[in-house]
Structure 1
């Protein structure tokens, strides 16, 4: 999906921030890499989910607070609470999307990881898409 398909999603710096040399610039002056459309929204979702609650001074409620689950055992209760916190963060922090479903499931063989599957649509076109973000529990690295 290109930025032209979702102009309402906006355009901004790529995440993580990186520099590129524009091909059209003969001097090769570095510029910040930019993203737009659905890619920009997906990167914003990852930033939102990785933000600790209270870390933004002007918006203390922004973020998912998933850092609380680092030392939690990988139980169905922890997965349910994690999915609920992610759903709340998306509903409050990302107005460009409609959240269809959020599921947190243990990641198969990995005994310290929970995959959070997010099904969402960018509001204007209502096209379904999804994102899987891995979170590591039980303090293993």
Structure 2
């Protein structure tokens, strides 16, 4: 799996973890390929725009929706923010669609479904990120 996407690169595992071998130095865990890219997408979606000094447009700030009611309007704005962030902040993927749909299993959850392709291979992938909104309980 990892050798399949060399152009995606390698980066820190998320959340950052340390490898503790029985002998030798402790090192930071890394990921590559699809796993690395999926983690990068999650970091992008949870980053608040303006919070990175050198990249003020980076992020979707989906955590702003935590106290929003679970309405079609909130779902539409959430999907729009996610799409904008992916188009501006992640050049390694081609976004096919973004949907924010109320979860059937929880009254306070909206699932954001991102359908994307890793540019070089054009293989479709999906990422489902649940977001919990204030809703009727």
Asked if TM exceeds 0.5, the reply is yes
Instruction: Check if 1:128 corresponds to 2:124.
Output: yes
Question: Can you give the 5+ residue segments of structure 2 that lack an aligned partner in the other structure?
Answer: none
Structure 2 counterpart SS, 1:40:
helix
Deviations 1:27-70, CA, capped at 9 Å, x for gaps = 24221111001111000000000101111111111100212212
The whole-number CA distance in structure 1 between the counterparts of 2:112 and 2:89 is: 17
**Ranges of 4+ aligned residues in structure 1 off by more than 6 Å:** none
What is the TM-score when the length of structure 2 is the normalising length? Answer: 0.94
Task: Check the 8 A contact 1:117/1:131 in 2, yes or no.
Answer: yes
Instruction: Check if 1:3 corresponds to 2:6.
Output: no
The whole-number CA distance in structure 1 between the counterparts of 2:67 and 2:122 is: 37
Question: Can you give the 5+ residue segments of structure 1 that lack an aligned partner in the other structure?
Answer: none
The whole-number CA distance in structure 1 between the counterparts of 2:119 and 2:105 is: 35
| Cross-structure match for 1:32 | 28
What is the TM-score when the length of structure 1 is the normalising length? Answer: 0.91
The whole-number CA distance in structure 1 between the counterparts of 2:111 and 2:50 is: 24
Task: Check the 8 A contact 2:70/2:135 in 1, yes or no.
Answer: no
| Cross-structure match for 2:63 | 67
